[in-house]
Amino acid sequence: MSVLTETKILKNFIGGEWVASSSEKMEAVPNPATGELLAYVPISSREDLDRAAAVAKEAYRSWKNTAVPKRARILFRYQQLLVEHWDELARLITVENGKSFAEAYGEVQRGIECVEFAAGAPTLMMGNQLPDIATGIESGMYRYPIGVVGGITPFNFPMMVPCWMFPLAIACGNTFILKPSERTPILANRLAELFKEAGLPDGVLNIVHGAHDVVNGILENQDIKAVSFVGSQPVAEYVYKTAAANGKRVQALAGAKNHSIVLPDADLDIAVTNIMGAAFGSAGERCMACAVVVAVGDIADELVARLVKEAEEMKIGNGLEEGVFLGPVIRDSHKERTVKYIEIGETEGALLIRDGRKDAAASGEGYFVGPTIFDKVTTDMKIWQDEIFAPVLSIVRVENLTEAIELTNQSEFANGACLFTDSAKAVRQFREDIDAGMLGVNMGVPAPMAFFPFSGYKKSFYGDLHANGRDGVEFYTRKKMLTARY
């Protein structure tokens, strides 16, 4: 079935049923490449959220007691269905988000990997025991789910980010309420539909579309025990503080400003290809995007010239077209914000060496900004400090690696950082001294796979346990200790 053709006003998914929102408020969901209307998303009420929470609480009573291998088997079937629908899901991502089909295809893979990790629940849920802590006395740790979990997700990865959350939470025995981004809500419905087809009992996964009211409901409703959030820094901080104040467990993944340091001994072919992909892939709308290149020593001139040349040759357009590398940004308002940042960069005195406002696509339909590059950027500039989240790359020039690391560490954010070099000694210094949670060497987007934690810090993360991997299992479970004499 196609959500696109059959559903003009999206519905919420509560208790295994498609339910119209009780609110009359809604927002248009356009295709960012064309401006064409895809659907309307309901801006649901607190009442809708509370209803979903009650249903999820009820479903938890039986789901938590469903044997773990039985839960895992549903995840295996879900994985199979996602594989079978790979192309369809990727097309949906491109249509509602704008990223190229190749990027969307890769995103589906990342989502599927999360389901594969979650299907390991029988191993992941194991506790541990010591049979003789004293004569005739044993002690053991047993792992249990925590209850109803709420997930709030951003627009930039409509499949991967929700899949960081609900498959693992559900495999661990929790029930889940997802509040997808109101800017990319369509794919979430398809994910829920396929999970139901895989045999997931009603009420275990619920979707409530909307914005602030639903988020605040998730943060306040006392039947929701934990909150996973991914989105921008101010909202992450708000979600973290409010959820914690309401006694909930919370992990909030936030914004970023990732630096790539290029040393004089780097292989320039590798550096240029990877930086172009990291800076302009997904229109720069990635929390692991490369936003700043730190060019070290005398490599700078050649590196800059090659980046500009590649940018000139980049194919910009609708992500469904063959060979398109750079799609639109998510909304007209985001395009305006990006153009504003380009103007700010010029006013601040950075050298605009490639101006994406002048590309033909930028004046047509859709929300396009071409690849934009500023040289001679400094740390007192807003274009260096702020997350622009668009195809705008800043270049900073320094003399040596120590200076490059010190500069990078001045950022308020600490999500990812990359180093391009041939020197093991430089890699060691980078790993030891850099302030970032996800490091790459001779690669542009070092996003960890589903079995490792997604581990930003500073203003890129609020909480203790990260998403994915062991951290994810710890976050979605609680422990009981039994000490016994028989």
Coil, strand or helix at 424: helix
Least distance to ligand NAD, CB of residue 181, Å = 4
Question: Quick one: 162 or 203, whose CB is closer to ligand NAD?
Answer: 162
Residue pair 484/134 in contact by the 8 Å Cβ criterion? no
166 touches ligand NAD (CB under 6 A): no
The answer to whether 249 is annotated as binding is no
x/- site string to ligand NAD, residues 396 to 435, per CB under 6 A? -------------------x--------------------
Report d(CA 429, CA 440) in Å as an integer: 13
- Phi, psi (rounded to 5 degrees) for 294: -105, 105
Report the residue from 106, 145, 158, 231 that binds ligand NAD according to the rule CB under 6 A: 231
161 touches ligand NAD (CB under 6 A): yes
Coil, strand or helix at 42: strand
Structure tokens at 71: 């839960």
Least distance to ligand NAD, CB of residue 108, Å = 16
Residue pair 95/193 in contact by the 8 Å Cβ criterion? no
CA dihedral 395, 340, 157, 235 (to 10 degrees): 110
The answer to whether 99 is annotated as binding is no
Coil, strand or helix at 263: coil
Strands (E), 415-471: 416-420, 438-441, 457-458, 461-462
Residue type, 82: L
Least distance to ligand NAD, CB of residue 305, Å = 29
In order of 17, 90, 212, the CA distances from 28 in angstroms are 23, 21, 16
Q: Which of 271, 328, 342, 348 is nearest to 305 (CA)?
A: 271
In the bound state, the residue with its beta carbon closest to ligand NAD is 231
Report the residue from 121, 168, 230, 278 that binds ligand NAD according to the rule CB under 6 A: 230
Question: Quick one: 156 or 175, whose CB is closer to ligand NAD?
Answer: 156
Residue pair 92/191 in contact by the 8 Å Cβ criterion? no
Report the residue from 173, 255, 345, 440 that binds ligand NAD according to the rule CB under 6 A: 255
Structure tokens at 265: 């001994």
Q: Is 163 a catalytic residue?
A: no
212 touches ligand NAD (CB under 6 A): yes
The answer to whether 485 is annotated as binding is no
- From the CB of residue 479, how many other CB atoms can be counted at a distance below 10 Å? 11
Least distance to ligand NAD, CB of residue 375, Å = 24
Question: Quick one: 202 or 386, whose CB is closer to ligand NAD?
Answer: 386
The interface region with ligand NAD, picked from 21-29, 225-233, 258-266, 347-355 by CB under 6 A, is: 225-233
The interface region with ligand NAD, picked from 129-137, 153-161, 363-371, 430-438 by CB under 6 A, is: 153-161
Question: Quick one: 106 or 173, whose CB is closer to ligand NAD?
Answer: 106
x/- site string to ligand NAD, residues 355 to 394, per CB under 6 A? --------------------------------x-x-----
Tell which positions 277-296 bind ligand NAD, by CB under 6 A.
287
The answer to whether 309 is annotated as binding is no
Report the residue from 181, 260, 372, 477 that binds ligand NAD according to the rule CB under 6 A: 181
The interface region with ligand NAD, picked from 129-137, 168-176, 253-261, 421-429 by CB under 6 A, is: 253-261
Coil, strand or helix at 476: coil
Structure tokens at 70: 């039985």
Least distance to ligand NAD, CB of residue 286, Å = 7
Structure tokens at 475: 């976050």
Do strands 37-42 and 26-30 pair parallel, antiparallel, or not at all (unpaired)? Answer: antiparallel
Structure tokens at 26: 């809604």
How many residues touch ligand NAD (CB under 6 A)? Answer: 28
The answer to whether 183 is annotated as binding is yes
Report the residue from 48, 96, 103, 182 that binds ligand NAD according to the rule CB under 6 A: 182
Residues pairing with 351 in the sheet? 375
Which entry of 172, 287, 290, 418 is annotated as an active-site residue? 287
Report d(CA 435, CA 456) in Å as an integer: 9
Question: Quick one: 63 or 462, whose CB is closer to ligand NAD?
Answer: 462
- Go through 36-59 and write b for each residue having 16 or more CB atoms within 10 A of its CB, e for each that does not: eebbbbbbbbbebbbbbbbbbbbb
Structure tokens at 202: 């009603």
211 touches ligand NAD (CB under 6 A): yes
Q: Which of 195, 205, 183 is nearest to 93 (CA)?
A: 183
CA atoms within 13 A on the CB side of 391: 31
- From the CB of residue 15, how many other CB atoms can be counted at a distance below 10 Å? 17
Residue pair 271/294 in contact by the 8 Å Cβ criterion? no
x/- site string to ligand NAD, residues 430 to 459, per CB under 6 A? ------------------------x-x---
Question: Quick one: 145 or 284, whose CB is closer to ligand NAD?
Answer: 284
Residues pairing with 293 in the sheet? 260, 395
The interface region with ligand NAD, picked from 1-9, 19-27, 150-158, 403-411 by CB under 6 A, is: 150-158
- Residues carrying an active site annotation: 287
Q: Which parts of this chain interact with ligand NAD (CB under 6 A)?
A: 152-157, 161, 179, 181-182, 211-212, 215, 230-232, 235, 253-256, 287, 387, 389, 415, 454, 456, 460
Which residues are part of a known binding site? 155, 179, 182-183, 387
